[in-house]
């Protein structure tokens, strides 16, 4: 059960975490220190970005918002237009895990004023040392946003489910009409519809932001899929533009649209990883002794199967050609299940995504009862040989 393909799938999943949980920020991730190299992550020379590389100093409180500024960078290469006019704004990030913590740094690098809060004081201290204004609670977060006039914006980047529900419920009591709550975690789209309806009772605007990019988002930007209040989207566009690479964000409609798109995105991701895993396991099973890292690099130059996931595969094979340090045990975080369930509910066949999800279930079985049943049946009807436990 611990086959090479499943170990490969684990390695892929490990390098693309997008859960917004309370984990340590990506090492060496100060925005103004980033160098992607002459040809970028995908082998193509990206355009230079528009994020300021100037060091940021700690501020005891928030200054009045800057109406507009022109930023230019010679060290950040995230695909955004050079010398463009970019407005800055104030925003709070709640949840400073790998993604949330790096989003704070990227926003600070773009000149935005950020209030940062996490239940872990050490995470808040790291954000403050990068230039954010630290907060000790959600109430303190809102208070520090209130130092400047205008609607307040709070981006919630915590695990989906109860943690998100509790955070938004508390913000409901703290915020006022026209303020904005953004859920950037991997929430179920039905939860996002519910959150939007609840906040609307107080005229608080809501956006659900499907966010992809994982630990690499600091360097190359976050793909952002937005749903919810369009006026809120327009208001927070300066921050979204800083977070995303060029052309890497979009507004897709009413509440739930952003997280629905992200759900399907992750379902597709499951299927892509499974396909790569199966192909590489077949290659490994031959007597050709393929250099899988080299083959992955070759495939990424002009091949129809080239992708960022394939780049990560090459990276994994360079570090450990046989993936011997891993077990073929692969978790799932929920979005794959939601995608399959949606396919059933809407009578839309998604067999490849379903098979990829079930392969992960299989990876967790040490001695499958189903396989033991089949072995028993073959022995009963045909006297076929079996292996004793």
Q: What is the 3-state secondary structure (H, E, C) of 168-207?
A: HHHHHHHCCCCCEEEECCCCCHHHHHHHHHHHHCCCCEEE
Structure tokens at 305: 């199967």
More confident residue, 291 or 19: 291
With respect to CATH, is domain 20-255 assigned 3.40.50.1950? no
Structure tokens at 100: 């949330």
What positions carry a catalytic annotation?
Answer: 262, 269
Structure tokens at 39: 């040809």
Q: Is the pLDDT of residue 206 over 80?
A: yes
pLDDT at residue 333, as a whole number: 86
Q: Is the pLDDT of residue 79 over 90?
A: no
Confidence category of residue 146, pLDDT binned at 50, 70, 90: confident
pLDDT tens track for 284-320: 999 999 999 999 999 999 999 999 999 999 999 999 9
For the chain, the structural domain boundaries read 20-255
pTM equals: 0.79
Q: Tell me the mean pLDDT in the region 198-215.
A: 96
Q: Tell me the mean pLDDT in the region 247-253.
A: 98
pLDDT at residue 30, as a whole number: 36
pLDDT more than 70, % of the chain: 78
């Amino acid at each position: 059960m611990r086959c090479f393909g499943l170990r490969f799938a684990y390695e892929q999943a490990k390098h693309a975490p997008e859960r917004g949980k309370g984990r340590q920020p990506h090492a060496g991730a100060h925005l103004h220190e980033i160098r992607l190299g002459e040809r970028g992550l995908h082998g193509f020379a990206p355009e230079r970005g528009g994020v300021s590389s100037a060091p940021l100093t700690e501020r005891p409180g928030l200054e009045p918002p800057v109406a507009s500024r022109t930023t230019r960078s010679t060290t950040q290469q995230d695909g955004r237009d050079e010398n463009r006019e970019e407005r800055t704004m104030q925003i709070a990030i709640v949840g400073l895990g790998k993604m949330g913590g790096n989003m704070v740094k990227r926003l600070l690098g773009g000149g935005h004023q950020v209030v940062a809060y996490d239940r872990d004081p050490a995470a808040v201290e790291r954000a403050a040392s990068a230039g954010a204004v630290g907060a000790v609670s959600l109430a303190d977060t809102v208070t520090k946003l209130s130092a400047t006039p205008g609607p307040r914006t709070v981006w919630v980047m915590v695990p989906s489910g109860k943690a998100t529900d509790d955070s938004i419920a508390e913000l409901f009591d703290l915020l006022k009409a026209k303020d904005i709550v953004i859920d950037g975690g991997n929430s179920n789209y039905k939860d996002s519809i519910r959150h939007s309806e609840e906040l609307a009772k107080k005229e608080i605007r809501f956006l659900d932001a499907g966010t992809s990019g994982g630990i690499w988002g600091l360097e190359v930007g976050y793909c952002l899929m937005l749903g919810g209040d369009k006026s809120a989207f327009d208001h927070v566009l300066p921050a979204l533009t800083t977070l995303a690479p060029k052309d890497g964000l979009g507004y897709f409609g009413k509440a739930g649209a952003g997280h629905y798109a992200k759900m399907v995105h992750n379902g597709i991701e499951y299927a892509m990883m499974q396909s790569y895993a199966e192909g590489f396991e077949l290659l490994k099973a031959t007597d050709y002794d393929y250099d899988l890292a080299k083959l992955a690099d070759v495939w990424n130059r002009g091949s129809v199967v080239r992708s960022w996931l394939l780049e990560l595969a090459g990276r994994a094979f360079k570090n450990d050609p046989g993936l011997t340090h891993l077990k073929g045990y692969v978790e799932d975080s929920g979005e794959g299940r939601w995608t399959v369930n949606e396919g059933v509910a809407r009578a839309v066949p998604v067999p490849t995504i379903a098979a990829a999800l079930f392969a992960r279930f299989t990876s967790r079985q040490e001695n499958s009862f189903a396989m033991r049943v089949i072995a028993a049946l073959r022995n009963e009807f045909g006297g076929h040989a079996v292996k004793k436990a």
